[in-house]
Amino acid sequence: MMKIERGARRTAKPDIFISHSSKDKKSAVHLAKVLNFCSVDVWLDDWELEVGQSLTDEISKAMDESRYIAILITENYNKTVWTKAEYKKALAREQKEQRTVMLPLVIGEAVVPDFLEDKIYIDLRKDFYKGVVHLVGMIHGISRFRISEALNDYEPQNVGDIWRLLQSIG
Protein backbone atom coordinates (compact mmCIF):
# COMPACT_ATOMS: atom_id res chain seq x y z
CA MET A 1 0.00 0.00 0.00
CA MET A 2 1.30 3.48 -0.82
CA LYS A 3 2.15 6.06 1.85
CA ILE A 4 -0.04 9.15 1.58
CA GLU A 5 0.94 12.47 3.11
CA ARG A 6 -1.85 14.48 4.70
CA GLY A 7 -2.50 18.16 5.40
CA ALA A 8 0.00 20.92 4.70
CA ARG A 9 2.76 18.35 4.04
CA ARG A 10 0.83 16.73 1.19
CA THR A 11 3.23 16.03 -1.66
CA ALA A 12 0.86 14.64 -4.27
CA LYS A 13 -2.38 15.76 -5.83
CA PRO A 14 -5.27 13.65 -4.57
CA ASP A 15 -7.04 11.11 -6.73
CA ILE A 16 -10.45 12.03 -5.35
CA PHE A 17 -12.16 14.70 -3.28
CA ILE A 18 -15.24 13.53 -1.37
CA SER A 19 -18.01 16.14 -1.35
CA HIS A 20 -20.52 15.32 1.38
CA SER A 21 -22.96 16.79 3.87
CA SER A 22 -21.55 17.09 7.39
CA LYS A 23 -24.53 14.98 8.48
CA ASP A 24 -23.03 12.14 6.44
CA LYS A 25 -19.53 12.37 7.92
CA LYS A 26 -19.55 8.77 9.15
CA SER A 27 -20.34 7.42 5.66
CA ALA A 28 -17.75 9.71 4.04
CA VAL A 29 -15.01 8.61 6.46
CA HIS A 30 -15.88 4.94 5.97
CA LEU A 31 -15.71 5.29 2.18
CA ALA A 32 -12.45 7.26 2.41
CA LYS A 33 -10.83 4.56 4.56
CA VAL A 34 -11.89 1.82 2.14
CA LEU A 35 -10.57 3.82 -0.83
CA ASN A 36 -7.28 4.51 0.97
CA PHE A 37 -6.89 0.78 1.59
CA CYS A 38 -7.25 0.31 -2.18
CA SER A 39 -4.40 2.79 -2.85
CA VAL A 40 -6.65 5.70 -3.75
CA ASP A 41 -5.42 9.04 -2.41
CA VAL A 42 -8.52 10.65 -0.89
CA TRP A 43 -8.91 14.29 0.13
CA LEU A 44 -11.30 14.43 3.06
CA ASP A 45 -11.74 17.61 5.08
CA ASP A 46 -11.29 15.87 8.46
CA TRP A 47 -7.94 14.48 7.36
CA GLU A 48 -6.53 17.49 5.54
CA LEU A 49 -7.60 20.75 7.13
CA GLU A 50 -5.36 22.19 9.82
CA VAL A 51 -5.97 24.87 12.43
CA GLY A 52 -5.70 28.36 10.98
CA GLN A 53 -6.27 27.38 7.35
CA SER A 54 -9.03 28.99 5.32
CA LEU A 55 -11.82 26.46 4.89
CA THR A 56 -13.01 28.03 1.64
CA ASP A 57 -9.53 28.35 0.12
CA GLU A 58 -8.38 24.83 1.05
CA ILE A 59 -11.55 23.12 -0.17
CA SER A 60 -11.44 25.08 -3.43
CA LYS A 61 -7.78 24.18 -3.92
CA ALA A 62 -8.44 20.50 -3.19
CA MET A 63 -11.34 20.43 -5.63
CA ASP A 64 -9.15 22.01 -8.32
CA GLU A 65 -6.25 19.61 -7.74
CA SER A 66 -8.11 16.32 -7.31
CA ARG A 67 -8.47 14.17 -10.43
CA TYR A 68 -12.07 13.38 -9.52
CA ILE A 69 -14.74 14.82 -7.27
CA ALA A 70 -17.02 12.26 -5.66
CA ILE A 71 -20.48 13.55 -4.88
CA LEU A 72 -21.82 11.50 -1.95
CA ILE A 73 -25.53 11.62 -2.72
CA THR A 74 -27.67 11.14 0.37
CA GLU A 75 -30.95 12.54 1.62
CA ASN A 76 -28.86 15.36 3.18
CA TYR A 77 -26.61 16.27 0.25
CA ASN A 78 -28.64 18.94 -1.52
CA LYS A 79 -29.76 20.68 1.68
CA THR A 80 -26.68 22.77 2.52
CA VAL A 81 -25.01 25.78 0.97
CA TRP A 82 -21.58 24.07 1.05
CA THR A 83 -22.59 21.00 -0.92
CA LYS A 84 -24.48 23.06 -3.49
CA ALA A 85 -21.39 25.20 -4.03
CA GLU A 86 -19.23 22.08 -4.35
CA TYR A 87 -21.36 20.36 -6.97
CA LYS A 88 -21.61 23.61 -8.97
CA LYS A 89 -17.82 23.91 -8.87
CA ALA A 90 -17.48 20.27 -9.97
CA LEU A 91 -19.91 20.78 -12.88
CA ALA A 92 -18.08 23.92 -13.99
CA ARG A 93 -14.74 22.12 -13.88
CA GLU A 94 -16.16 19.23 -15.87
CA GLN A 95 -17.40 21.61 -18.58
CA LYS A 96 -14.11 23.49 -18.64
CA GLU A 97 -11.95 20.37 -18.89
CA GLN A 98 -14.34 18.48 -21.21
CA ARG A 99 -13.89 15.23 -19.28
CA THR A 100 -15.55 13.32 -16.47
CA VAL A 101 -14.65 14.90 -13.17
CA MET A 102 -17.79 14.40 -11.08
CA LEU A 103 -18.46 10.88 -9.81
CA PRO A 104 -21.93 10.54 -8.24
CA LEU A 105 -22.09 7.92 -5.50
CA VAL A 106 -25.52 7.13 -4.06
CA ILE A 107 -25.90 5.95 -0.46
CA GLY A 108 -28.70 5.85 2.09
CA GLU A 109 -32.28 6.71 1.19
CA ALA A 110 -31.23 9.25 -1.40
CA VAL A 111 -33.15 10.31 -4.45
CA VAL A 112 -30.82 11.25 -7.30
CA PRO A 113 -31.13 15.03 -7.69
CA ASP A 114 -32.12 16.70 -10.95
CA PHE A 115 -28.63 18.03 -11.62
CA LEU A 116 -27.37 14.44 -11.85
CA GLU A 117 -30.29 12.79 -13.63
CA ASP A 118 -28.39 12.35 -16.92
CA LYS A 119 -25.22 10.99 -15.29
CA ILE A 120 -24.34 7.39 -14.65
CA TYR A 121 -23.80 6.88 -10.95
CA ILE A 122 -22.49 4.16 -8.66
CA ASP A 123 -25.12 2.86 -6.29
CA LEU A 124 -23.46 1.91 -3.01
CA ARG A 125 -26.80 1.12 -1.35
CA LYS A 126 -27.31 -2.36 -2.75
CA ASP A 127 -23.78 -3.71 -2.86
CA PHE A 128 -21.22 -1.40 -1.29
CA TYR A 129 -18.15 -3.50 -2.04
CA LYS A 130 -19.09 -4.15 -5.66
CA GLY A 131 -19.65 -0.42 -6.15
CA VAL A 132 -16.28 0.36 -4.61
CA VAL A 133 -14.61 -2.06 -7.03
CA HIS A 134 -16.10 -0.10 -9.95
CA LEU A 135 -14.97 3.21 -8.42
CA VAL A 136 -11.44 2.07 -7.62
CA GLY A 137 -11.11 0.41 -11.01
CA MET A 138 -12.05 3.65 -12.74
CA ILE A 139 -9.59 5.68 -10.69
CA HIS A 140 -6.80 3.18 -11.38
CA GLY A 141 -7.65 2.98 -15.09
CA ILE A 142 -8.92 -0.60 -15.20
CA SER A 143 -11.45 -1.18 -17.97
CA ARG A 144 -15.12 -1.64 -17.08
CA PHE A 145 -15.09 -4.86 -19.09
CA ARG A 146 -12.32 -6.40 -16.98
CA ILE A 147 -14.03 -5.28 -13.78
CA SER A 148 -17.39 -6.68 -14.87
CA GLU A 149 -15.83 -9.99 -15.86
CA ALA A 150 -14.03 -10.27 -12.52
CA LEU A 151 -17.22 -9.42 -10.61
CA ASN A 152 -19.12 -12.10 -12.55
CA ASP A 153 -16.66 -14.65 -11.18
CA TYR A 154 -16.35 -13.30 -7.63
CA GLU A 155 -18.34 -10.88 -5.46
CA PRO A 156 -16.32 -9.11 -2.79
CA GLN A 157 -17.67 -9.32 0.77
CA ASN A 158 -15.12 -7.05 2.48
CA VAL A 159 -12.24 -4.65 1.86
CA GLY A 160 -9.68 -7.43 1.64
CA ASP A 161 -11.74 -9.08 -1.10
CA ILE A 162 -11.75 -5.80 -3.05
CA TRP A 163 -7.98 -5.60 -2.84
CA ARG A 164 -7.49 -9.22 -3.93
CA LEU A 165 -9.96 -8.83 -6.81
CA LEU A 166 -8.28 -5.66 -8.09
CA GLN A 167 -4.82 -7.22 -7.82
CA SER A 168 -5.98 -10.20 -9.84
CA ILE A 169 -7.14 -8.02 -12.75
CA GLY A 170 -4.43 -5.44 -12.85
Which pLDDT tens digit goes with each residue over 29-61? 999 999 999 989 999 988 887 888 877 898 899
Q: Higher confidence at residue 54 or residue 147?
A: 147
How much of the chain, in percent, has pLDDT values that exceed 70? Answer: 94
pLDDT band at 7; cut points 50, 70, 90: low
Q: What is the DSSP letter of 144?
A: H
Phi, psi of 16 (to 5 degrees): -150, 140
Q: Is 149 exposed, middle or buried (0-12, 13-18, 19+ CB in 10 A)?
A: exposed
pLDDT at residue 2 greater than cutoff 60: no
Catalytic residues: 86
